């Protein structure tokens, strides 16, 4: 049985229902319906077989019809579907047979009243990619705007309104009279013909600009169109199309007058009265929308700032620090509610005049792009086994807690207090996160990259949960826990408050926690973590660390060797060795006395070591991305990347497999294949039998017949984009010779020295007696 989750909520603009109580969000193959009051998912429309690209809610024809919940959806699978999303039920499917990238239905915005009896034909304008072989060889890729008769469920034959080279989104005016598209430096606007036949001529005008236009929007009442470009300018054309569209009004002679008129700011011979420019955004404008009464214009872009322009005066108001580039701004029928979609997979519901955030629908956040040097570092993903949560590092220095069962974000913890600044390179990286078994304690480490060798800093932080809903508060910060060396792994002891951090600098530290119950508030415990022991093995970089299931043995990987320690007394118990390349992942296998190690590099290896015999049991030559083992089971799972060469028929587009092994048996007991396995993580979750059943009802996809009480959820990475790699320079530290050292609170040197010597001498004297 498999469950999928973590879809992108921001692949296409969402839509509000007519009473603004629901928000329809395109989530890959389905449309999820969220309640705007609670922010939780109510239901989903399932049926499309490819990415849903547009969702359009049918507006009410009369105030009474506000409760009706009908919508049209278009998808890349070449179908347009008509749904009743209150039930939810599929009412109608129209086969177009070509992928649809965008769809607008202008005519239902001014549908005549219902009581006329006869339904007019409903037309949609769709933006499609023509995959059919065309006779015209020169146009290899044809992206066309076509008209589609939804009532008769067919494309209007041979009528191609326009063609572009790139994919663009159709925008319709709120009045339903125009729709437009931006095409590089040009802007195409079509006037929707009045009710009429299929082949009524559609008039078109084009407006020009010198920069690439990214987004356009129409004024709700007047003939004003606004467009944003890549440089952050916002252009507003007033009275567009007076010439070309005037014909329908039958006033021919106005055309002549318009030609002679002075048209400030309008380029060439474009068909508009005037054009004005505003410039505040420093980068590309992604969001542009008029308020429903047309007095304000909302704009936003990469800065993560929503700007409200007063249309007449050009005065600005801001909603700053949303924390992520904005993608869509949608007004709801309720004037006090609107939504912003952000690039970090969050949809914020705004309370409108005050622009406060009412609710946030949070999807899984994409991992940030790390420089190559830090790509493979440590355990960037941690699982809360009891609550079924996963803790992920996000771009704005947060740890996001994402519920795997509920498929929604629970909370976020700001690990590093920095403001979002667009356009900066990544300079602060959260390298590792670890959770205790019960999920009440967290430990994170972060690295601040140096600027030409100065100012780098490694930080280890310990957090404690205040309540059940994962609100963490900081309990201890340790600056430079291992001098200036980076932390390779952080791991929690399974039963007592103990943390081990291992570093590339060749040592590991055992941290213990002194909890003192503060006097004024008996309920709250204050944890303070102090270093309990330091260990190293031949000054080798420590690359991974893990506790055994009962916590009595600590295994630390010293490059190619596995060292076993008693964590309480800090005594080296045994050394297992050795692998060919440095070990990056280490895990004890539940009940059995085996430890599994994964090493990477040129000679990757998955090896299982027996602790009773202190020798290698078996090994595979596999490139392993993640290893996980259940606490009280004698099996473990490994996520292996498939070699490039074997990318053949059995795995279509899938580049990784999850292998479930029994500790003693080198033959895997189960295999699943996954997509986008790079950077993935694995974790066993504890599930009681009742919820397993629940999942199997909800779960889509293949049934694996996994009849244990332990459900396994190896998903997570289905929707992750491959992260671009940013190169970075290794930091060199020339002053490292003499002034380094973490002497935070040393007493004056003179005092320290004499006191130390004295204590030493006294001790000896006592021993002599």
Kindly tell me which residue out of 138, 210, 253, 354 binds another protein, with binding defined by CB under 8 A.
Answer: 354
Which pair of tokens denotes residue 12? 């296409």
Taking CB under 8 A as the rule, does residue 667 contact another protein? no
Q: In angstroms, what is the minimal distance from the CB of 450 to another protein?
A: 7
d(CA 723, CA 367): 8
Near another protein in 128-147, by CB under 8 A: none
Taking CB under 8 A as the rule, does residue 473 contact another protein? no
From the list 94-102, 256-264, 367-375, 473-481, the region that binds another protein by CB under 8 A is 473-481
- Calculate the CA dihedral of residues 323, 52, 403, 413 and round it to 10 degrees: 0
Q: In angstroms, what is the minimal distance from the CB of 453 to another protein?
A: 6
Kindly tell me which residue out of 19, 84, 334, 484 binds another protein, with binding defined by CB under 8 A.
Answer: 484
- Per DSSP, the chain holds a count of helices (H) and strands (E) of 3, 53
In this complex, which beta carbon is closest to another protein, that of residue 357 or of residue 671?
357
From the list 286-294, 381-389, 450-458, 535-543, the region that binds another protein by CB under 8 A is 450-458
Q: Which residues contact 222 (CB under 8 A, 6 or more apart)?
A: 238, 294
Peptide bond into 295 cis (omega under 30): no
How many amino acids of this chain bind another protein (CB under 8 A)?
A: 56
Which pair of tokens denotes residue 749? 């040197």
In this complex, which beta carbon is closest to another protein, that of residue 214 or of residue 475?
475
Long-range CB pairs of 183-191 (<8 Å, 24+ gap) are: 183/213, 184/212, 184/213, 185/209, 185/210, 185/211, 185/212, 185/213, 186/213, 187/213, 187/216, 187/225, 187/227, 188/162, 189/225, 189/240, 189/241, 190/125, 190/161, 190/162, 191/241, 191/244, 191/245, 191/248
By the 8 A CB rule, do 119 and 65 touch? Answer: no
Taking CB under 8 A as the rule, does residue 399 contact another protein? no
Q: Which residues contact 749 (CB under 8 A, 6 or more apart)?
A: none
d(CA 444, CA 462): 7
Taking CB under 8 A as the rule, does residue 452 contact another protein? yes
d(CA 546, CA 562): 11
Taking CB under 8 A as the rule, does residue 738 contact another protein? yes
Near another protein in 356-375, by CB under 8 A: 356-358, 360
The 178-197 contact track toward another protein, x by CB under 8 A, reads --------------------
Whose CA is closest to 375, among 727, 683, 136, 130?
A: 727
d(CA 97, CA 56): 20
d(CA 33, CA 86): 9
Kindly tell me which residue out of 749, 765, 766, 768 binds another protein, with binding defined by CB under 8 A.
Answer: 749
Taking CB under 8 A as the rule, does residue 569 contact another protein? no
* Farthest-apart Cα atoms in the chain, separation: 120
From the list 164-172, 261-269, 605-613, 731-739, the region that binds another protein by CB under 8 A is 731-739
Taking CB under 8 A as the rule, does residue 734 contact another protein? yes
In this complex, which beta carbon is closest to another protein, that of residue 254 or of residue 419?
419
Q: In angstroms, what is the minimal distance from the CB of 547 to another protein?
A: 27
Q: What is the 3-state secondary structure (H, E, C) of 197-210?
A: CCCCCCEEEEEECC
Kindly tell me which residue out of 251, 259, 372, 477 binds another protein, with binding defined by CB under 8 A.
Answer: 477
Taking CB under 8 A as the rule, does residue 424 contact another protein? yes
Kindly tell me which residue out of 139, 279, 418, 613 binds another protein, with binding defined by CB under 8 A.
Answer: 418
Kindly tell me which residue out of 152, 316, 479, 574 binds another protein, with binding defined by CB under 8 A.
Answer: 479
Kindly tell me which residue out of 59, 60, 453, 601 binds another protein, with binding defined by CB under 8 A.
Answer: 453
Partners of 389 in the β-ladder: 384, 403
3-state secondary structure of 576: strand
The 266-305 contact track toward another protein, x by CB under 8 A, reads ----------------------------------------
Taking CB under 8 A as the rule, does residue 348 contact another protein? yes
In this complex, which beta carbon is closest to another protein, that of residue 495 or of residue 728?
728
From the list 79-87, 254-262, 270-278, 754-762, the region that binds another protein by CB under 8 A is 754-762
Peptide bond into 578 cis (omega under 30): yes
Q: What are phi and psi of 373, to 5 degrees?
A: -60, -30
Which pair of tokens denotes residue 483? 């001098």
Taking CB under 8 A as the rule, does residue 769 contact another protein? no
Q: In angstroms, what is the minimal distance from the CB of 735 to another protein?
A: 5
Taking CB under 8 A as the rule, does residue 744 contact another protein? yes
Q: What are phi and psi of 548, to 5 degrees?
A: -75, 170
In this complex, which beta carbon is closest to another protein, that of residue 118 or of residue 744?
744
Kindly tell me which residue out of 268, 741, 765, 766 binds another protein, with binding defined by CB under 8 A.
Answer: 741
Order of strands, edge to edge, in the sheet holding 41-46?
Answer: 15-16, 22-27, 30-35, 41-46
Taking CB under 8 A as the rule, does residue 509 contact another protein? no
- Count of other CB atoms within 10 angstroms of residue 84: 15
Kindly tell me which residue out of 260, 690, 703, 745 binds another protein, with binding defined by CB under 8 A.
Answer: 745
Whose CA is closest to 510, among 490, 525, 495, 494?
A: 490
Q: What are phi and psi of 736, to 5 degrees?
A: -65, -15
Which pair of tokens denotes residue 217? 């929007």
Taking CB under 8 A as the rule, does residue 512 contact another protein? no
d(CA 515, CA 527): 4
Half-sphere exposure of residue 157: CA atoms within 13 angstroms, side-chain side: 0
From the list 19-27, 416-424, 496-504, 692-700, the region that binds another protein by CB under 8 A is 416-424
Coarse DSSP helix, strand, coil percentages of the chain, rounded to the nearest 5 percent: 10, 45, 45
Near another protein in 522-551, by CB under 8 A: 528
By the 8 A CB rule, do 224 and 260 touch? Answer: no
Kindly tell me which residue out of 254, 277, 419, 473 binds another protein, with binding defined by CB under 8 A.
Answer: 419
The 310-339 contact track toward another protein, x by CB under 8 A, reads ---------xxxxx----------------
- Binding positions for another protein, rule: CB under 8 A: 319-323, 348, 351, 354, 356-358, 360, 414, 417-419, 421, 424-425, 427-428, 448-455, 457, 477, 479-480, 484, 516, 519, 528, 733-735, 738-741, 743-746, 749, 753, 756-757, 760, 763-764, 767
């Amino acid at each position: 049985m498999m469950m999928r989750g973590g879809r992108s909520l921001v692949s296409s603009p969402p839509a509000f229902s007519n009473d603004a109580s629901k928000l329809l969000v395109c989530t890959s193959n389905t449309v999820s319906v969220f309640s705007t009051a609670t922010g939780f998912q109510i239901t989903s429309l399932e049926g499309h077989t490819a990415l849903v690209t547009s969702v359009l809610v049918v507006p009410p024809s009369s105030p009474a019809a506000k409760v009706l919940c009908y919508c049209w959806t278009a998808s890349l699978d070449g179908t347009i579907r008509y749904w009743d999303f209150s039930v939810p039920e599929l009412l109608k499917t129209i086969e177009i047979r070509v992928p649809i990238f965008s769809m607008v239905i202008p005519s239902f915005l001014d549908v005549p009243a219902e009581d006329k009896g006869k339904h007019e034909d409903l037309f949609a304008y769709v933006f499609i990619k023509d995959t059919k072989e065309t006779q015209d060889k020169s146009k290899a890729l044809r992206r066309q705007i076509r008209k589609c008769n939804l009532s008769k469920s067919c494309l209007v034959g041979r009528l191609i309104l326009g063609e572009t080279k790139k994919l663009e989104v159709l925008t319709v005016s709120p009045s339903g009279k125009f729709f437009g598209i931006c095409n590089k430096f040009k802007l195409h606007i079509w006037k929707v013909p009045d009710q009429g036949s299929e082949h009524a001529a559609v008039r078109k005008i084009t407006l020009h600009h010198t920069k690439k236009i990214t987004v356009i929007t129409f004024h709700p009442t007047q003939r004003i169109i606004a467009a944003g470009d890549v440089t952050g300018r916002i252009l507003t054309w007033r009275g567009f199309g007076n010439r070309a569209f005037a014909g329908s009004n039958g006033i021919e002679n106005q055309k002549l007058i318009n030609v002679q008129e002075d048209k400030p700011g309008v380029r060439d011979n474009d068909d508009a009265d005037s054009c004005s420019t505003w410039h505040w955004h420093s980068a590309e404008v992604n969001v542009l929308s008029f308020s429903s009464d047309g007095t304000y214009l909302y704009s936003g872009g990469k800065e993560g700032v929503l700007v409200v322009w007063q249309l007449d005066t050009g005065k600005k108001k801001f909603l700053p620090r949303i924390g992520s580039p904005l993608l869509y701004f949608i007004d709801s029928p309720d004037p006090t509610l609107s939504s912003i979609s952000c690039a970090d997979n969050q949809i914020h519901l705004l309370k409108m005049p005050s622009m406060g955030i009412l609710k946030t629908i949070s999807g899984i956040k994409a991992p940030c792009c790390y420089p190559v040097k830090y790509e493979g570092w440590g355990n960037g993903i941690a699982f809360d086994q009891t609550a079924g949560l996963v803790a992920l590092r996000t771009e704005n220095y947060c740890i996001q807690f994402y519920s795997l069962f509920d498929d929604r974000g629970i909370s976020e913890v700001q690990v590093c207090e920095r403001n979002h600044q667009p356009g900066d390179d990544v300079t602060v990286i959260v390298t590792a996160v670890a959770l205790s078994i019960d999920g009440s304690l967290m430990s994170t480490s972060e690295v601040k990259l140096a600027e030409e060798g100065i100012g780098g800093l490694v930080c280890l932080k310990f957090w404690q949960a205040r309540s059940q809903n994962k609100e963490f508060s900081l309990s201890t910060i340790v600056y430079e826990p291992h001098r200036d060396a980076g932390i390779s792994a952080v791991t929690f002891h399974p039963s007592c408050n103990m943390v081990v951090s291992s570093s590339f600098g060749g040592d590991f530290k055992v941290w213990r926690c002194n909890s003192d119950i503060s006097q004024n508030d008996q309920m709250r415990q204050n944890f303070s973590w102090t270093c309990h022991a330091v260990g190293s093995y031949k000054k080798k970089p420590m690359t991974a660390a893990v506790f055994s299931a009962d916590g009595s043995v600590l295994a630390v990987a010293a490059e190619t060797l596995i060292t076993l320690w008693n964590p309480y007394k800090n005594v080296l118990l045994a050394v297992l060795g050795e692998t060919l390349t440095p070990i990056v992942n280490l895990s004890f296998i539940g009940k059995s006395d085996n430890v599994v190690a994964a090493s990477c590099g040129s000679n990757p290896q998955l090896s299982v070591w027996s602790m009773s015999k202190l020798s290698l049991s078996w090994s595979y030559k596999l490139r392993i991305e993640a290893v996980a083992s259940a606490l009280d089971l004698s099996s473990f799972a490994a996520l292996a990347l498939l070699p490039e060469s074997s990318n053949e028929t059995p795995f279509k587009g899938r580049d990784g497999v999850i292998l479930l092994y029994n500790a003693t048996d080198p033959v895997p007991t189960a295999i699943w294949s996954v997509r986008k396995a790079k950077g993935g993580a694995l974790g066993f979750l504890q599930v009681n039998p009742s919820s397993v059943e629940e999942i199997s009802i909800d779960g889509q996809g293949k049934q694996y017949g996994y009849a244990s009480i332990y459900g396994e959820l190896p998903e997570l990475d289905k929707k992750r984009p491959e992260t671009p790699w940013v190169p970075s320079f290794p930091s060199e530290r020339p002053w490292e010779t003499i002034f380094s050292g973490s002497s935070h609170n040393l007493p004056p040197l003179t005092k320290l020295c004499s006191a130390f010597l004295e204590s030493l001498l006294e001790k000896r004297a006592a021993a002599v007696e």
